[in-house]
Amino acid sequence: MSPALKKKQGLRLGALNVNGLNSPQKQSAIFDKLFKNECDVVILSDTRLKKVDIDNSKFMSHLECFVSDCQETLNANNRVCRSRGVGIFKNPKSEAEFKKCISNTNSNKVTIELTHPFSTDITLSGVYGPNNDNPEFFQQLVQETCSNDECSGLILGDLNVKLDPSIDCHPPQDNYAREAKQILLNDLIEDDIIVDVFRHLEPDKKEYTYMHPAQKNVKNRKRSRLDYALSSPRLLDSIVSIQHEKIMLSGIDHSALYIDLDKGTFQKARNPPFKTPNHLCKNPEYKKLIKESLKIHTCEHLISPLHQDTQDAITNYQLHNLPINVNPSALWESLLENARGVTRTFLKKRNTLLSQEKTTLTTALGEAEELFEDDDSDENFEILKKRESDLTEFNNKREDEKLLNFNVKWASKHERPSKFFFSNLKNKGCTKTITKMEIEKVLVRDPQAIKDHIQNYYKKIFSKSNCNDKKNTPTNLTAEMQH
C-alpha cells in the first residue's frame, strides 16, 4: 500500500466500478486490494450479480453486505443480460456496523444506515448512475440520502455524469452539451443541499477516474471524473481526505475512490454555520417567512407572553429588547437552528416546484416541436417560439441566481480563485475574445498578433508625438474589428 493511502484513524469508505464481478479470481483480487488498503466499508458498482451469486461465492458469502436486486432481461439476440447492480460490503475486521437497509429495490443503488463506535449514524448510498439522462433518479437519491436532518448523508459511486466538463474532463469540454441530471446536481450543490467532497477539498485540482480501454494506446487520451462522493453539509467537518487510486487489474477501467472520516471530530456531529443561499436574500416570500418564523420562535421564550394583536404589531427589534426566560446565547442558538430548518424546508419546496415547472416547460416545448413538424403553419410556429422563449426565460432566471451567488462570493472572498469563477470565465471567454482581425488588408487569426496590434495602436494614439495623427483614430480601429 502506498504511504499516501495509509489510514491514520477513524472510518474509511472505498468505492469502485468493477465492470462485472462474476470471476472468482477477480473477486479475490478486488477484495484483497481494497481490504489491504484498510477500507472499513466497500461500495462496488456494476457488479452484475444477484444475491444468490454472492451466497454461492467462495470469497463473498462470508461478508456482511447489502446488494441491489440485479434484474435479467433478454436482448435482441435472445441472450440473458443483467442490469448493472450495486453492493455494499463490510470488512470483517472493521468496527463499523450495518444498522438496516433503507432501499435496494432499484438495481442502480443501495441505501443503508451505517454506524461506527465513534460516530453518529450515516445514511450511505452506493450508486451506479444511469447511462441515460434521468434527473428523477438523482432527485430521489438525494432526497433519500441527504434529506434527513438527524443523520448525515453520503453518496458514493460511479454517477456517470460530468459535473464540470471544463475541469473534470481531459481535454476540457467547454462546449459540452448540458444534461438535465448535470444541471440538477449542480443546482443542488449551489443551494448547499449536497457538497462535491473532492471539489470542496481540492477546488482546482484535476484528477480523473475513468478512461475507456480504447484510449490506452492513444497519444492524447480522453479521461474524465465520473466517480464522486456527495455529502450533506453537516458531514464536512468530519471528512479528512478523499483520494483516487488506479487499480491495476484486468478489466478495471475506473480508479478506486477512498474517503476518510476523522475519528476524533466524528464523536459528536455538529451543524455547519448557518448560511442562507445568496439568491434567497432577494426573495420577498422567503424574507417574509423568515421574519415571521423568528418572531414566533422568540415569543415562545418571553417571560410575559404577548397578546396576539401585540405580537402582530411588534417589530423584531422591539421584541429582542423584552425579557426572556432563557440564556441569550441559548436563544440565539435556538433561533439559528429554527432559521436553518425553515430555510431548508423552503428550499426543498422551492426546488420541487422549480423542477416541476421545468419539466412542464420542457414537455410543452416537445409537444410544440411535434406539432410544428406535423403542420408548419404560422400559428404553430408562433406557439413553438413562445414555448422556446418560456424555457429560455426560465433557464436565464436560474443563471441569474447563480450569478448573484457569484457576485456575493466575489465581494466576500475578493480575488480568491473558485470553481464558479473559473467556470464562468471559460464559458464566457469566447464572447470576450477577438478571434480575427484585418490588419493591413490581411486577415489575421493569431491571438498574439491581434493583441500586439491593438496594444501598439493605442500606444500611438496616446503617445505625445502622435496625438494629432489622423490615421490612427478610434473609428479606424472599430472598423478593423468589425471586419
Distance from CA of residue 175 to its chain's centroid?
A: 19
Q: What is the dihedral of CA 336, 338, 344, 346, to 10 degrees?
A: -120
User: What's the angle, vertex CA 81, arms to CA 78 and CA 86, rounded to 5?
Assistant: 170
- State the Cα–Cα distance between residues 210 and 363, nearest whole angstrom: 33
Q: What confidence tens digit (pLDDT) does each residue in 125-158 have?
A: 999 998 888 889 999 999 888 876 666 899 999 9
Phi, psi of 238 (to 5 degrees): -95, -10
Cell reading at 13: 469508505
Q: What confidence tens digit (pLDDT) does each residue in 277-287 have?
A: 766 777 888 88
- Count CA atoms within 13 Å of residue 465 on its CB side: 2
CB 131 within 8 A of CB 161: no
Which residue has 437552528 as its cell numbers? 337
Domain positions in the chain are 3-267, 278-418, 434-482
Q: In what helix (H) or strand (E) does residue 475 lie, and over which residues does it extend?
A: helix 474-482
Cell reading at 232: 450533506
CB 53 within 8 A of CB 65: no
Give pLDDT, residue 475. 54
Cβ neighbours around 437 below 10 Å, total: 20
- State the Cα–Cα distance between residues 449 and 435, nearest whole angstrom: 11
Q: How do the pLDDT tens digits run along the chain, 483 residues long? A: 555 567 667 889 999 999 888 888 899 999 999 998 889 999 999 988 888 888 888 888 888 898 887 666 555 566 655 568 899 999 998 888 898 888 877 888 999 998 877 566 789 999 999 888 888 999 999 988 887 666 689 999 999 999 988 888 888 876 666 788 998 898 888 877 899 999 988 888 889 999 887 776 666 678 899 999 999 888 887 888 899 998 888 889 899 999 988 754 444 444 455 567 766 777 888 888 888 888 888 888 787 788 888 877 887 777 777 887 667 777 777 788 888 888 888 888 887 888 888 888 988 988 988 888 888 888 888 898 898 889 888 887 777 666 655 554 544 444 455 555 566 666 666 566 777 788 887 778 788 888 888 888 888 887 765 445 555 555 555 555 555
Q: In what helix (H) or strand (E) does residue 348 lie, and over which residues does it extend?
A: helix 328-374
Cβ neighbours around 370 below 10 Å, total: 11
Q: If you ran DSSP here, which 8-state letter would residue 177 be given?
A: P
- State the Cα–Cα distance between residues 108 and 127, nearest whole angstrom: 6
Q: Which residues contact 431 (CB under 8 A, 6 or more apart)?
A: none
Give pLDDT, residue 37. 87
Pairing of strands 169-170, 223-224: antiparallel
Phi, psi of 150 (to 5 degrees): -90, -10
Cross-strand pairs, 158: 128, 227
Give pLDDT, residue 283. 82
CA dist list (Å): 111 to 88, 98, 127, 462: 9, 11, 9, 67
Pairing of strands 11-17, 41-45: parallel
Cell reading at 472: 490612427
CATH, range 3-267: 3.60.10.10
Cell reading at 173: 469540454
- State the Cα–Cα distance between residues 65 and 41, nearest whole angstrom: 9
- State the Cα–Cα distance between residues 204 and 178, nearest whole angstrom: 21
Please say whether the dihedral angle defined by the alpha carbons of residues 274, 278, 279 and 281, taken in this order, is positive or negative: positive
- pTM assigned to the model: 0.57
Give pLDDT, residue 448. 85
Cross-strand pairs, 88: 43, 66
Cell reading at 292: 415571521
CB 302 within 8 A of CB 322: yes
Per-residue H/E/C for 375-434: CCCHHHHHHHHHHHHHHHHHHHHHHHHHHHHHHHHHHHHCCCCCHHHHHHHHHHCHHHCC
Cell reading at 228: 464522486
